[in-house]
Amino acid sequence: MAEIKMPALGADMVEATLLEWHVGVGDVVHRGDIIATVDTAKSALEVEALQEGRIEALLINPGTTVSVGTVIATMADSVPEVPTVTPSTSGRPASSPLARRRAAELGIDLADVQPSRPGGFIGVQDVEQSRLAAPAVLPKASEQPAAVIPATEGLREVIASLMARSKREIPHYYLQSTVDIEATLARLEQRNASLPIGERILPAALFLWAIARAARSVPEVNGRFDHGFRPAAEVHLGLAVALREGGVIAPAIRDADRLDLPSMMAQMTDLVRRARAGRLRASEMTDSTITATLLGDQGAEVVHGVIYPPQVALVGVGCIVRRPWAVDGMLGIRRVVAVTLAADHRVTDGHRGSQFLQAIALALDEGVDA
Amino acid sequence: MAETMTYREAMRAAIREALQRDECIFLMGEDVGRYGGAFGVSLGLLEEFGPERIRDTPLSEAGFVGAGIGAALAGMRPIVEIMTVNFSLLALDQILNTAATLLHMSGGQFNVPVVIRMTTGGGRQLAAQHSHSLEAYYAHIPGLRVLAPATVEDARTMLWPALLDPDPVIIFEHGSLYNLSAELAPPEEETSLERAIVRRPGTDLTIVTQGGSLPVSLEASERLAREGISAEVIDLRSLRPLDDEAIATSVRRTHRAVVVDEGWRTLGLTAEIAARIAESCFTDLDAPVLRVASVEVPFPYPRHLEQAAMPSLERIIGAAKEVVGQHG
């Protein structure tokens, strides 16, 4: 609501008498319209409307004398001076460039976002609000998984439910294979020696490459179980990432079997960074066809993991250790790593599982040149 | 050792230091000698340096600015004082077509190392013909360097590097800043003439401003802080060239910008800066860049109308709230 005050129509004017109103209650006035005539000490002068609006109330009667600054009428629906953004004519919701960028990062459709800004367009805060409002939905056994990004607060609950369900429903069996990777690592170190630091390949990337490759050759470990096993046409390799605030998420590296080693390294690094920053896409959270969990240098030697439903296998890679080893019939010290498979016994058995682990071991050596 | 001085005293100290360091430097302009300067900047300098170094000129801007340019061409380093930017228009041809352009037209042979100081701005009821802020006119011209010291420290330290520049430099001193007082410690290192400085860090929006609009912008940011809005305030210091990097770095971080200047809105300084922000920060912007400039009227004489026409505290706060997305 806007107040119309008795204006100072001359530098020395202190009061005036209202002679007549030129508008009535309910009239719409525009800037510059004459709304009243007032009598000052010197002469009769006209009062103009300074804003657009609808007259709500006339507060004094003709014949009344008031000082300059007294509220003489009120107006409703005054239009703000600052221009509002014209609504988009292309059919897309009006939004700021930053909001569009953020929505794309989060996989949020702008049509689902409520604009709250005075300009009537979607700002980045509106996108963030929309993301927090999306609840974390647990996929039921009989449903295809929904596209969700678990909110950090509910992450523990989500993991808990998922792991409990996995242990409840999936008959796990476990295989372990300890692989001598001394020669492989030596060749990797040689490859890295000629590369700038920013391009060097970590052993983790090599493990992922080998797992993705092996999943191609043993398709029974790659896919989803939903009233029977459905093998996947692609290998989207989930990578378990520990979050700083606690909890684990396992976003997917899509088409992992098609990547060369440098690409695998780049994607792995990018995914971990975005996972820890909370900037994953919805598709990355739901697309995995098989998952790997790499414990890294600080981890245990062997991991016996829990399969992420509805997948049918989880590959574990422990920390690389130096162990006494049989080398050419003599005792030597080699760097070895324990590669484990937790698999769904409804789909594979020890024989097939072993073939998968063997395929990984072979692919490790192949991968150094990829 | 820190001492307290006014902006006026700082500029006087800068002129005195320059005259002491280089005998080719001299001050010329209307009333700079016997009167001590229309704004008191050169008070006492005639007595100290004599009439050859502090030269009163006839009442002819085109004439004495031209003479200053001639002196610069001949090897001197004149400081030409034009009483206000309002009168500088009489010398615009000299400044644009000679000072700014001679280097180019002579194929690089003739530099014009003249420094032209002008008082600018309104807010002191000097009415329509004497309250202009025409920095945009000069910042538009290739061949000129245009500076706008807004603090006592900049008034003290920007003159010497300007005099070292072999090409023409225009220095704008807002008339309302002369009485500004501050404690001055000698700066540890010289700040480049081309750098904008963040006078107040913030996170929610960037206010870009210069010269006489800096104090009101800082006050607006204090008021906004009390309401939970953190505004970063950038003092441009140099109007040509503009410090694009400083502006873009800030706006990419805060995502919102308000540009404040006392010139008129249409085709003014604020328009140029808003365009540059849109060019460099498009995908980082969460709201259109808003401008707070003088209302498009000849400057009013009555105090309440003049204040209403200038970029006010209320309008700056209103624009900041608008870009942040707050209603009202």
Q: What is the DSSP letter of A148?
A: -
Distance of CA B90 to the CA centre of its chain: 19
Which residues of chain A from 58 to 87 reach within 8 Å of chain B, CB to CB? 82, 85
Q: CB contact, 8 Å: B319 with chain A?
A: yes
Q: How far is A334 from A322, CA to CA, in rounded Å? A: 5
Which residues of chain A from 104 to 123 reach within 8 Å of chain B, CB to CB? 116-119, 123
Nearest CA of chain B to the CA of A200: how many Å?
31
B171: tokens are 């220095």
Provide the pLDDT confidence category of residue B50 given band limits of 50, 70 and 90: very high
What's the pLDDT tens digit per position in B205-245? Answer: 999 999 999 999 999 999 999 999 999 999 999 999 999 99
Q: A155 or B134: which carries more pLDDT confidence?
A: B134
In terms of Cα–Cα distance, which of B198, B190, B203 is closest to B229?
B203
Report residue A297: phi and psi, to 5°: -60, -30
Q: CB contact, 8 Å: B228 with chain A?
A: no
Average pLDDT over residues B135-154: 98
Q: Considering the entire predicted model, what is its pTM?
A: 0.59
Residues of B in contact with A96 (CB under 8 A): 285-287
Q: Provide the residue type at B227 as one letter.
A: E
SS3 label, residue A20: strand
pLDDT in tens, chain A (370 residues): 788 999 887 767 788 999 999 999 888 899 889 999 998 877 788 888 888 898 989 999 999 999 998 999 998 865 444 555 555 556 678 889 999 998 888 888 888 888 887 767 888 988 888 877 654 443 444 444 444 445 555 667 778 888 888 999 999 999 999 999 999 999 999 999 999 888 899 999 999 999 999 999 999 999 999 888 999 999 999 999 888 777 788 889 999 999 999 999 999 998 888 888 777 776 777 789 999 999 888 889 999 999 998 899 999 999 999 999 998 899 999 999 999 999 999 999 999 999 999 999 999 999 988 8
User: A82–B283: do the CB atoms touch at under 8 Å?
Assistant: no
Query: Can you spell out the DSSP letters for A38-66?
Result: EE-SS-EEEEEP-S-EEEEEE-S-TT-EE
User: A118–B326: do the CB atoms touch at under 8 Å?
Assistant: yes
Pairs across A and B, CB distance < 8 A:
40
| Half-sphere exposure in the Cβ direction for A269 (13 Å, CA) | 13
User: B283–A98: do the CB atoms touch at under 8 Å?
Assistant: yes
Active site residues of B: 61, 130
The beta-carbon neighbor of B325 closest among A11, A97, A116 is A116
Beta strands (DSSP E) in A62-208 are 65-67, 71-76, 172-180
Closest residue in chain B to residue A126, using alpha carbons only: B325
pLDDT at A292: 96
In terms of Cα–Cα distance, which of B186, B214, B188 is closest to B199?
B214
Q: CB contact, 8 Å: A99 with chain B?
A: yes
Q: Which of A130-134, A136-140, B130-134, B200-204 has the lowest mean pLDDT?
A: A136-140
Q: What is the DSSP letter of A95?
A: B
Q: CB contact, 8 Å: A124 with chain B?
A: yes
